[in-house]
Amino acid sequence: MHDILVVGNVNADWVFRLDAPIRTGLETTGEDLGLRAGGAAANAASALAVADNRVRLVGFIGSDETGDRLLDLMAADGRPWDTSGIVRLPGPTPACLILIDPNGERVIIGTHRNATPPRWPAVSVEGIACAYVASRWGAPDELVAPLKAAGVPIVSQWRPGYTVRDAEVLVVSEDEVPRDAVADPWRALQGAGLAAEWLVVTRGARGATATDGSVRLHCPAVPAAVVDTTGAGDAFAAGLVHGLARRWPMAACLRLGTEWGARAVAHLGSTFPKTGEDIGRYPDIAPVTQEG
């Protein structure tokens, strides 16, 4: 069992399952699925907890009734995750409206664009094997510096405002690669002064790739019946974190990420499905190919 620190977004997801895809100018109907826990950090933490890791989740929710309900939901969920690092802030809990169409694709509408950056709590890095940072406020030096000093690998999203500049691994959806970086994301990453050892790009049904500037790994997608794509990218990132915490090679981390992403899309929910299987085992890396 490994200790993993997950820092970032913990949201209240208000979910509607649509009867038909959204189309401009047309009305559709849907089913209100109510409130569920979500946010990039909570989603990733939920997967890591299922895989028998000790997860410390650090994030922020509001001091409102929605925040109360969110904490109750997370406590009742029964996962072995430590949510004592979730800080209550004055005001409303960050929320997202999630619209899921019949094909399992989702539209996410955040209601937190004007949220004030919070003051992060003091976090102990003792015993941490890997850290995942997925925060709309980024991560302060006082959090990153102790992790770096302790030799803890950091996985971060590559998104404006989110990125830990000296994270060992940056992960990004193909759809969110900056427009001027599409032709050569690795060179663009270096040109932006980012010091990642690996850049991982998720490509949906075409799997995922990883490069360190010298070699390029490709892992095909794991087939899955798509029910709800919410949280799939977070589950993929959690698979990377799980492997890095154990110092697995990138090929194994990449394969596990695709396996967890497939499990996530086949499940209705933002957080990762519970399972009695050993989902954290070392994966079969035969499907992963290498170039360069």
Q: What is the DSSP string of 121-142?
A: PP---TTEEEEEEE-TT---HH
**How large is the average pLDDT for residues 78-96?**
89
Task: List the CATH number of the domain containing 263.
Answer: 3.40.1190.20
Specify the number of domains making up the chain: 1
Sign of the Cα torsion 163, 165, 169, 170 reads positive
Residue range(s) defining the domain that contains residue 160: 3-111+124-291
Tens-digit pLDDT profile for residues 37-64:
888 999 999 999 999 899 999 999 999 9
117 domain residue, yes or no: no
Question: Using CA atoms, how far apart are residues 40 and 157, in angstroms rounded to an integer?
Answer: 10
What pLDDT sits at residue 195?
84
- What the block records as the tokens of 188 is 């663009």
Residue 116 in domain:
no
- Percentage of the chain lying above the pLDDT 70 cut: 98
Enter the tokens of residue 270: 């933002």
Please report which confidence band the pLDDT of residue 238 belongs to, taking 50, 70 and 90 as the band edges: very high
- C-alpha neighbours within 13 Å on the C-beta side of residue 190: 8
Measured between alpha carbons, how far is 3 from 161 in angstroms, rounded to an integer? 26
- Asked, for residue 21, whether it belongs to a domain, the answer is yes
- The per-residue pLDDT for 235 is 94
pTM here is 0.91
Region 240-252 average pLDDT: 97
Nearest to 138 by CA among 109, 160, 168: 160
Six-digit token string for 177: 């690669």
* pLDDT surpasses 90 at 247: yes
How crowded is the C-beta side of 62, counted as CA atoms within 13 Å? 16
The yes-or-no verdict on residue 113 having pLDDT over 70 is: no
Is 27 a member of any domain? yes
pLDDT at 155 > cutoff 60: yes
CA angle 248, 218, 199 (to 5 degrees): 65
Report yes or no on 91 lying in a domain: yes
